[in-house]
Structure 1
Amino acid sequence: MTRLQPAEITGIVAEARRLTTGLYVFPETGERIARVLDEALSQGRYERAGDAETLARLVTEDLQSVNGDGHLRLKFHPDPVPAAKEDGALLAELARGADLSLGGVPRIERLAGGVALLKLAPILFPLDMTGESLNAALALVARAEALILDLRECVGGDPYTSAHVCGHLFDEPTHLHTLYDRQDDSERQFWSPAPLPGPRFGGTKPVYVLISAATFSGGEELAYTLQQRGRAVVIGEVSGGGANPRRGFTLHPHLEATIPVARSVNPVSGGNWEGTGVVPDTGTDPARAHEVAHRAALAEVARLGGDTASAEEARRALGGLARDRPTAGPDARL
């Protein structure tokens, strides 16, 4: 990779500074971060970077040193990124990710007891990119008696896509969250939409959401919204803690500055998950979250289903789990 010249390094850092002070969602914090960059530049911290990947790491460390905002960074891209368009690097990355993940729906499965498992990863792609795949998946799980929504590897996404998913899980239009934008000094409310194409899972059947420390940004927003509205039980470990939506700016063929420009406010909590992550209702090792959620779902289907075929299947599955469960020792629990 071509080495960066000192003048290039100074120009890249200066532009990252300008964007941070001008656009960062919290102006006073942006000024503090800018002073960190100024000091590092004056002390020659970035001169030894040499290449774009190392510079990205060093500048990102300094950008995040004040308040730990995981969305604020100088991001390295191994492949050249578009220069002329805002968020061009993101759009190119999204197109590749959508192709590799079956439109962001890498797994859909019927489990015992009429429970459906729907995995959304690596992000919640824009609807104009993968809406057909998402709608097909949501239509399939609509018939299930309970739903496990796996967001353990969901690291971001479009808020309109998150709202679209929520539209299948609520019976009435529901206020999900509000984005406050610094640059426009404006706010946008996000509601679950109605009507929607195809059948809905609806607002009464049990929903369980799986999260992990890797769950971030748009994945967290979906989990947090469903949790705060009392629509889902969240299972796993505390998520990554990134709630401030970002915009991307190409500063070099391999470098993109990502600047959080807005903040999300939940109408129930009055806050969000920035820095704290989404705290699960049931904490467990993410590797076991699927098992824990399935057991809880089976119990609910058995309790609510009466003498239906799914309820009978759920009872049999629960009986099998009970027989397989150890009766002694430190692991004799789920």
Structure 2
Amino acid sequence: MARAIVLVASLLIIGNVLFTHATFSPTLIVDMAKIIMDNYCSPEKLVGMKEAIDAAKGNTEVLNIPDAETLANVLSSGVQTTVSDPRLKVSYEQNYVPAVPLKMPPLPPDQLIAVLQTSIKLDILEGNTGYLRIDHILGEEVADKIGPLLLDLVWNKILPTSSLIFDLRYTGSGDVSGIPYIVSYFTKAEPVIHIDSVYDRPSNTTTKLFTMSTLLGDRYGVTKPLIVLTSKNTKGVAEDVAYCLKSLKRATIVGEKTSGGSLKVDKFKVGDTDFYVTVPSAKSINPITGSTWEVVGVTPDVEVNAEDALATAIKIVNLRGRVPAIIEGSASLIAANYAFEAIGDSVAEKLKGLLANGEYGMVVSKDGLETKLSADLKTLSGDKSLKTTSNTPPLPPMDYSPEMFIELIKVSFHTDIFENNIGYLRFDMFGDFEEVKAIAQIIVEHVWNKVVNTNAMIIDLRNNLGGPTTAISGFCSYFFDADKQIVLDKLYDRASGNTTELLSLSELTGERYGSKKSLIILTSAATANAAEEFVYIMKRLGRAMIVGETTAGGSHPPKTFPVGETGIFLSIPTIHSDTTAGPAWEGVGIAPHIPVSADAALEVAKGIFNKHFAGQK
């Protein structure tokens, strides 16, 4: 009721404007309000309108305005603001002649062909891509009359194409009955799909639109790429077609947001005056989304200026044409190289299944394809390291002076000595063996010698993201004795099919920590890759207690593989730890002996050691 009163008040307020050149009866306002109340497509916005109009009937205030057009403009603004609908309009038109719906006259075939060729533009682009532009959407009656001619001149030339660009950038008119016709050519015959519900306010009826099981000619099908071009001039029935195809996920919309028009707009004369009220008298509610394109427009999947839409669509079509080769090439690389053969085979088959099911049919950019492919590979394999990647070449080695190395090491490593002579060592990345070997003496002097003579040690890997595993055997060796070589792990290389033993080293730079003193390793969900291999070895050999969170479940450093000449690259783990004694850590992580939050892990470890050494006193 309140909204309706505000509406009528907004219509009447002009009576307070102090102009003296013309006079209009307040009944004009009441008559306009009645037209809106009886015909506006969303009556829920007009609750209480009748009562408000009855209350306004007694208003005898004279509307003083300079001219009728000024009144019409102000009334339009008031109505549009109150109902939040720019389609409602009031106009003053002294010579208005109602438009008569155009009907196609009986034309000889040659003239009919000329008319169709003018209103429909058809082309076959490079790569067997069809281009079809229609500026008016024909209704059922007309389509039935000229259907065979449309098949011969247009549709049968489109059918053999590999993809279609459907241009609705200039389509501002059409018949509602043509919506199911167009949509059905891009869907299956069965089952029929409920694609729209159209509520007509004057008749208070709702018409459900369904796809059609029987059509003239063949369907384009549901798998070939379909791109619909739109602009701010795409209106009404064309918007509904675009929205239906988008909601069905059958088409990609490229271009500008559409006008946000209406399926049906009626123009009503106000009494015996020359004022008219334009009212959207029907509305569309999509049964799939539960929403509508009216007022708000259809938002494109790829938003570009209308003049750039065709070129953008061609790029998308070309990308989609390469997608099968990209997916099949990725599947082959994974099957041939992934560290765990059975998983690699399974991922490859499932990936090809996604392709066959059309899961990659809606990609619109190379970046989008890479993102989706990465997500699918992670889901199918459970391995975060199996993904798309960039092919960024490694940076050349820096030529550091000894002083620069010392400063770098001070930043990279953190040491401390806690109560009871407990050593603490933190570093957040593993380095390549050759690089570490070259500066081993500097690391020993400025890091290792600070903690090597402690009674026990805490190694903090909570923030260690991994790195190369080439230095793992050397680092592990500091915590075992020199008199016995130990098999730390066995590594299976899928590329060569060989298994190699990772052995402790007999010679090291600096003093060993040895196998007798206690060791606790701190972990978190961020502990990954090379750091996990170290934790895995130390836990499996019973050399350290693990405190913290289950690790990330990464992999040995993956290799980068190009997917043919596509410009897409895959990161594929090709090596895994020995699984003969049970599951390795790749993909699942390493569970700690004592699970606590990463934030609490250090205090827990210190408490364990302090209690241990207190018991020895």
In structure 2, relative to structure 1, the CA distance for the partners of 1:93 and 1:10 (3 Å cut) is farther
Q: C-alpha displacement at 1:94, in angstroms? A: 10
In structure 2, relative to structure 1, the CA distance for the partners of 1:266 and 1:24 (3 Å cut) is closer
In structure 2, relative to structure 1, the CA distance for the partners of 1:13 and 1:253 (3 Å cut) is closer
Q: Which amino acid aligns with 1:137?
A: V
CA distance in 1, matches of 2:417, 2:575: 38
In structure 2, relative to structure 1, the CA distance for the partners of 1:247 and 1:53 (3 Å cut) is same
Q: 1:214-225 maps to which residues of 2 (within 5 A)?
A: 214-225=526-537
Pick aligned residue for 1:68 from 364, 382, 390: 382
Q: C-alpha displacement at 1:62, in angstroms? A: 1.7
Task: Check whether the contact 2:384–2:554 (CA below 8 A) recurs between aligned residues.
Answer: yes
In structure 2, relative to structure 1, the CA distance for the partners of 1:28 and 1:271 (3 Å cut) is closer
In structure 2, relative to structure 1, the CA distance for the partners of 1:290 and 1:255 (3 Å cut) is farther
CA distance in 2, matches of 1:203, 1:272: 23
Pick aligned residue for 1:193 from 468, 487, 505: 505
In structure 2, relative to structure 1, the CA distance for the partners of 1:134 and 1:16 (3 Å cut) is farther
Task: Check whether the contact 2:555–2:576 (CA below 8 A) recurs between aligned residues.
Answer: yes
Pick aligned residue for 2:475 from 161, 165, 170: 165
Gaps of 5+ in 1: 83-90, 307-334
In structure 2, relative to structure 1, the CA distance for the partners of 1:161 and 1:51 (3 Å cut) is farther
Q: C-alpha displacement at 1:275, in angstroms? A: 3.7
Task: Check whether the contact 1:105–1:134 (CA below 8 A) recurs between aligned residues.
Answer: no
Task: Check whether the contact 2:469–2:557 (CA below 8 A) recurs between aligned residues.
Answer: no
What residue in structure 1 maps to residue 414 of structure 2?
107
**Aligned-CA RMSD value:** 3.2
Q: C-alpha displacement at 1:134, in angstroms? A: 4.8
CA distance in 2, matches of 1:50, 1:141: 55
Q: C-alpha displacement at 1:26, in angstroms? A: 3.0
- 1:206 matched to 2:513? The reply is no
Q: C-alpha displacement at 1:8, in angstroms? A: 5.4
Q: C-alpha displacement at 1:161, in angstroms? A: 1.2
What residue in structure 2 maps to residue 13 of structure 1?
327
- Structure 1 stretch 155-164 or stretch 286-295: which is displaced more? 155-164
Q: C-alpha displacement at 1:266, in angstroms? A: 6.6
Q: C-alpha displacement at 1:279, in angstroms? A: 1.2
Pick aligned residue for 2:491 from 163, 171, 179: 179
- Structure 1 stretch 65-74 or stretch 278-287: which is displaced more? 65-74
What residue in structure 1 maps to residue 575 of structure 2?
262
Q: 1:17-32 maps to which residues of 2 (within 5 A)?
A: 17-32=331-346
What residue in structure 1 maps to residue 430 of structure 2?
124
Q: C-alpha displacement at 1:44, in angstroms? A: 4.4
1:163 counterpart SS class: helix
In structure 2, relative to structure 1, the CA distance for the partners of 1:29 and 1:272 (3 Å cut) is closer
What residue in structure 1 maps to residue 540 of structure 2?
228
CA distance in 2, matches of 1:247, 1:71: 10
- Name the count of aligned residue pairs: 287
User: After superposition, what is the alpha-carbon deviation per residue over 1:128-173, rounded to whole angstroms, capped at 9, x for unaligned?
Assistant: 2344265453333212222111111223233331211111111143
Q: Which amino acid aligns with 2:574?
A: V
User: After superposition, what is the alpha-carbon deviation per residue over 1:101-130, rounded to whole angstroms, capped at 9, x for unaligned?
Assistant: 946934222233322221121x31212234
Identity %: 25
What residue in structure 1 maps to residue 589 of structure 2?
277
Task: Check whether the contact 1:139–1:200 (CA below 8 A) recurs between aligned residues.
Answer: no
Bigger relative contact order, structure 1 or 2 (CA pairs below 8 A, ≥6 apart): 1
What residue in structure 2 maps to residue 149 of structure 1?
459
2:590 counterpart SS class: coil
- TM-score (normalizing by structure 2): 0.42
- TM-score (normalizing by structure 1): 0.74
Gaps of 5+ in 2: 1-311, 399-404
CA distance in 1, matches of 2:562, 2:448: 35
Q: Which amino acid aligns with 1:63?
A: L
